Amino acid sequence: MTGVCVAGATGWTGRAIAQSILDSDGLVLRSAVSRSAAGRDLGEAWGGPAVGVVVSTDVGVALDDVDVLVDYTSAAAAKGHALTAIAAGVHVVIGTSGLSASDFDEIDAAARTAGVGVVAAGNFSLTAAMAQAAALLVAPFLPQREIIDYASASKPDAPSGTARELAERLGEVSRHPLTISVAEIGGYPEARGATIGATQVHSVRLPSFVVSTEVVFAQADERLVIRHDAGGTPAPYVAGTLLAVRAAPGRVGLVRGLDTLLLQG
């Protein structure tokens, strides 16, 4: 049995992950983390019957008999949670968005030193992973690209974890200078977006969007668009997260991207 702690278990995504762990074979939900439900039974915090899992406010005290920490909290908390778990010899799955490439470098170094595995993905849905894998396949042949990231008006971070991970990973595959650099742009240069991994990223925040990510590749007289659209429930992220929970104990260091995990086998 693999013991799991879910940080963010009262949230939109974490609740679905925690419920699927309660329902799964081979995984056991040992603990949960949330500030507002601290000290309560997780099931009762969800408004239902008790499930026998106590919610803690602090990851450090929730890791007893835990093999894997899953984090779906906030960018401000996730790195600290991951480093606490790694220091305790606990493997980590990071679904939370908003961590930088240097945060991931630090997490990777700590995980290698501790001999534990970390799987992080800006998007744990299978179709998003396939969209990312396709984009990485295209990038060496069509290096000119831009990313458009669509999300709800209330999303507190930009770009989305999906768009950020895609931009950073495209930057590892190919880098192509802009025809006109952002510094040379007249008018409002910021309208050219953020430069991440040598890719311009444009974040649109409007009601009715959940998370959609579009990468546009182009060369003279032709374009290729790869787009992923998520619906309004956390269901797409559950299977990929559980796959990562099962895979993390067999790894040492950071695996970034569900596509990497799937393609490595």
Ligand X SMILES: NC(=O)c1ccc[n+]([C@@H]2O[C@H](COP(=O)([O-])OP(=O)(O)OC[C@H]3O[C@@H](n4cnc5c(N)ncnc54)[C@H](OP(=O)(O)O)[C@@H]3O)[C@@H](O)[C@H]2O)c1
Residues that bind ligand X (CB under 6 A): 7-14, 33-37, 72-74, 77, 95-98, 121-124, 161, 237
How are beta strands 2-7 and 68-71 bridged, if at all?
parallel
Rounded-to-integer distance, Cα 170 and Cα 159, Å:
15
Nearer to ligand X, 104 or 237 (CB): 237
Closer of 123 and 132 to ligand X (Cβ): 123
Q: Nearest approach, Cβ of 139 to ligand X (angstroms)? A: 21
Q: Measured from the CB atom, is 198 or 244 closer to ligand X? A: 244
Please identify, using beta-carbon distances, which residue of 71 and 108 lies nearer to ligand X.
Answer: 71
Least distance to ligand X, CB of residue 106, Å: 18
DSSP 108-149: HHHHHHHT-EEEE-S---HHHHHHHHHHHHHTTT---EEEEE
Nearest residue to ligand X, using CB? 11
3-state secondary structure of 260: helix
What are φ and ψ of residue 140, in 5° steps? Answer: -65, -25
Supply the minimum distance, in Å, between the C-beta of residue 187 and ligand X. Answer: 32
* Cβ within 8 Å of residue 52, ≥6 positions away: 41, 43
Burial 111-129 (b: 16+ CB within 10 A, else e): beebebbbbbbbbbbbebb
CB of 119 to ligand X, least distance (A): 10
User: Is 160 or 174 the residue whose CB approaches ligand X more closely?
Assistant: 160
When the beta carbons of 7 and 198 are compared against ligand X, the nearer one is 7
Minimal distance, residue 98 CB to ligand X, in Å: 6
Task: Determine contact, residues 202/148, Cβ cutoff 8 Å.
Answer: yes
**Min separation Cβ 66 and ligand X, Å:** 15
- Cα–Cα distance for residue pair 189/174, rounded to 1 Å: 23
Q: Least distance to ligand X from the beta carbon of 95, Å?
A: 4
| Residue 5 or 198 having the CB closest to ligand X | 5
Task: Please answer whether residues 122 and 261 qualify as being in contact, where contact means their C-beta atoms are separated by less than 8 angstroms.
Answer: no
Tell me the backbone φ, ψ of residue 156, rounded to 5 degrees. Answer: -80, -10
Q: At what angle do helices 126-138 and 161-173 cross, to 10 degrees?
A: 30
Query: CB of 250: closest distance to ligand X in angstroms?
Result: 20
**Is the CB of 9 or the CB of 163 nearer to ligand X?**
9
